[in-house]
Structure 1
Amino acid sequence: MTDGLAQSYPTRPIRLIAPFAPGGGVDLIARLLGAGLGRSDSLGQTVVVDNRAGAGGAIGAEIAARAEPDGYTLLLGNSTTHGVNQAYFRLPYDSVRDFTPITLVASAPLVLATAGALPVKSVKEFIALAKARPGQLNYGSAGRGSVTHLTMELFKVVTGVNVVHIPYKGVGPAFTAMMTGEIQCIIVAVTASMSHVRAGRIKALGITGVRHSRLLPDVPTLAEQGVAGFDADYWYGLLGPARMPRRIVARLNQEALRIIGGAEFKQKMIAQGVEPTGSAPEEFEKIVRGEVAKWARLVKDAGIQEQ
């Protein structure tokens, strides 16, 4: 793209790919961000959210990676598309080389939760119980290679506990399995756990990130309970194909940060248990590189077989 075309950007509608089905967190954030970018006082062009679900977000991410780097195809990626997928699956794209990071958009804490009947009240007590009963406790996940899977594997490596993985097709079936006693613990998004926590069906023991959750303000972090250095937030970010012109990246970053910092976006995100963030493109690139390296190291250290 010539410098002149980059300066006049955008002159037509923009496609924002949401690589998951409508109704989920990625879809919600993509639509809020897209609506803001499309306003006349922002980019001034319609931003069309295009849901391309499948393969844990890899289908939509590949479409974005192969698009022209002209700023007219963007991606709302997350910890799955640009973190755990790269470590666990053989992908048709590279999460670092094939994308241009624009800004981190938001992050959502995860929580270590146990069945209500399990006789523990803290992370320390859970670790002690798991070590006293190696291989006898089961944990659930939303599927092999999911954030819920690899985050618990990270917990196992850091703490030395031996709990057995049982994958499900989503967190809903995993919660059902916890109610029936098939599994005893799970690491999951705080928002997904709230109804069960409030009903007393499960116990929220610890937040996986470095900050407390607004939805569970009294639940301490894992680090505060002795699990040093544990940080595994679920994040969302805006990206484009590799080799996007710097002027376009700067324009998109500027407009996205204005929306992310606005009262309307903040209010709607916080209501969902998600923290608006925002970042410079360079900072977001470091985050993506760090995430890919972290999960790749975990897969190697834990002896997890790539799929």
Structure 2
Amino acid sequence: MLKKWITATLTVLLFSLGGSALADDYPNRPVKIVVPFPPGGATDVAGRLVAERLQKAFGKPFVVENRSGASGNIGVAEVVRSPADGYTLVVGAPQTLTINPLLFKNIPFDPQKDLEPVVMVASVPNVLIVNKNLPVNSVPELIQYIKDNPGTVRYGSSSVGGTPHLSSEMFASMIGAKIEHIPYRGSAPALQDLLGGHIEMMFDNLPASLPQIRAGAVKALAVTTLQRSKSAPDIPTLDEQGVKGFESRGWFSLLAPAGTDQKIVEKINKAVNEALQDPEFRERLASVGADPVGGSPQDFRKAIQAESERWAKVIQEAGIKAE
């Protein structure tokens, strides 16, 4: 009995020491960062900025791979199934971590149990944009147009259940109007249809829409935060245009498979937090409409829990279901 106990203890000790050595040597080969949405959207933009910075910090490739589908569930599921060694990470957003579990009944993973929070990188407001030929230039004018043309206004969203979709439903509810929802597989195709006049309006994460806004290809009527964005201070809020109390925000983060060595988690967390203190990196985030967040893995875990509770209330009140 004593011999078995000693053998088991030594096995655990050796495994622990081996894991610690691997953590100390991390990373010694390329790291894959999965973006669970198509290229061109806000999550993809944020993921590539972070990957570039981590590659610079560690001197090893951090390669972004897009694995879209099922409102982000396919990409997240791939990471959940990956070895918990720190060499496969995922860019997390409100939809995949806090909203999808409330909408889909058969998700093969639990984000709060099967993923290890690393760090919340940045937050972004959503922005209300309309086709440039739509005869409105403010939120009050848009509301009046919707009410004067019942059943004709359509809005696009990057996916069912994302913060742009929930923002749209919240907006429709608060103004007391019905707006037809046209879901897309990602922000980029929705934006293309807005440019082409196939839909009249959409809420989108500011980073994804900012280039088109600056080019004058679409009209930006409002941001969804209570204060104006530092990245686009000329765009007023919904709140200041009469839709009182309207607030919605997206965010981007990094997570690893559950069970990843905490030393590895802390190394990545430290590298991202150091990047967020760099004026150049902060400026790059601001250039795409994102505000730095940072903090510990524990801070991030608490934020996920709080966001889950918040969106559960919105989804229930709006009666939103996965399509």
Please give the range of the TM-score, normalised by the shorter of the 2 chains.
0.7 to 0.9
| Other-structure match for 2:98 | 83
Does the residue aligned with 2:113 lie in a helix, a strand or coil? coil
Aligned ranges 1:36-185 → 2 under 5 Å? 36-39=53-56, 42=57, 44=58, 46-55=60-69, 56-89=71-104, 90-178=106-194, 181-185=197-201
2:47 equivalent to 1:30: yes
* 1:286 CA drift (Å): 2.4
Q: TM-score, normalization: structure 1?
A: 0.82
Task: Say which is worse superposed, 14-23 or 50-59, in terms of deviation.
Answer: 14-23
Give 1:239 shift.
1.0
Residue 170 of structure 1, CA deviation: 4.3
Structure 1: how far apart are the matches of 2:217 and 2:162? 23
Could you list the per-position Cα deviations for residues 172-214 of structure 1 after superposition, in whole angstroms to 9, with x for gaps in the alignment?
Answer: 5544544565432211133443454455553211101244234
Q: Is the 8 A contact 2:40 2:208 kept in 1?
A: no
Contact 1:100–1:239 (CA under 8 A) maintained in structure 2: yes
CA RMSD of aligned residues (A): 3.1
- Offset of residue 124 of structure 1: 3.2
SS class of match (1:67): coil
Instruction: Give me the whole-angstrom Cα distance separating, in 2, the residues matched to 1:195 and 1:107.
Output: 18
Query: Contact 1:64–1:73 (CA<8 Å) still a contact in 2?
Result: yes
Q: Read off the aligned partner of 1:209 and give its amino acid letter.
A: T
- Secondary structure of the residue aligned to 1:2 is helix
Structure 2 gap ranges (5+) = 1-14
Alignment-mate amino acid for residue 302 of structure 2:
K
Which residue number in structure 1 is paired with residue 284 of structure 2? 268
* 2:211 is aligned with 1:218: no
**Which stretch has the larger CA shift, 23-32 or 106-115?**
23-32
When residues 134 and 298 of structure 1 are mapped into structure 2, their CA distance, relative to the original with a 3 A threshold, is farther
- Distance in 1 between the 2:140 and 2:74 partners? 40
Which amino acid in the other structure matches residue 289 of structure 2?
A: G
The superposition leaves residues 194-251 of structure 1 with CA deviations (integer Å, 9 ceiling, x where unpaired) of 4544555532111012442344311112223333433322211011122444444333
Q: Is the 8 A contact 2:120 2:293 kept in 1?
A: yes
Deviations 1:30-75 (A, max 9, x none): 3443444345xx5x46243251412143222112223343434322
- 8 Å CA contact retained: 1:14, 1:71: no
User: Distance in 2 between the 1:209 and 1:151 partners?
Assistant: 11
Q: With the length of structure 2 as denominator, give the TM-score of the two structures.
A: 0.79
One-letter amino acid matched to 1:33: V
> For 1:101, what is the secondary structure of its paired residue?
strand
Matches within 5 A, 1:248-263: 248-263=264-279
1:97-122 CA distance string (max 9 Å, x none): 21121111122222112233444332
1:25 Cα deviation (Å)? 4.3
Give the aligned partner of residue 233 of structure 1: 249
6, 29, 33: which one pairs with 1:17?
A: 33
* Cα 1:27–1:135 shift into 2, 3 Å: closer
1:284 CA drift (Å): 1.4
Matched, 1:242 2:258: yes
- The range that moved more, 194-203 or 139-148, is 194-203
> For residue 299 of structure 1, what is the aligned residue in structure 2?
315
Instruction: Give 3-state SS (helix, strand or coil) of 1:238's partner.
Output: strand
Contact 2:38 2:186 in 1 (8 A): no
Residues 42 and 206 in structure 2, CA contact (< 8 A), matched pair in contact too: no
Report the Cα offset of residue 126 of structure 1. 2.6
The number of residue pairs the alignment matches comes to 304
* Residues 1:50 and 1:195: Cα distance change in structure 2 (over 3 Å): closer
Determine helix, strand or coil for the equivalent of 1:109.
Answer: strand
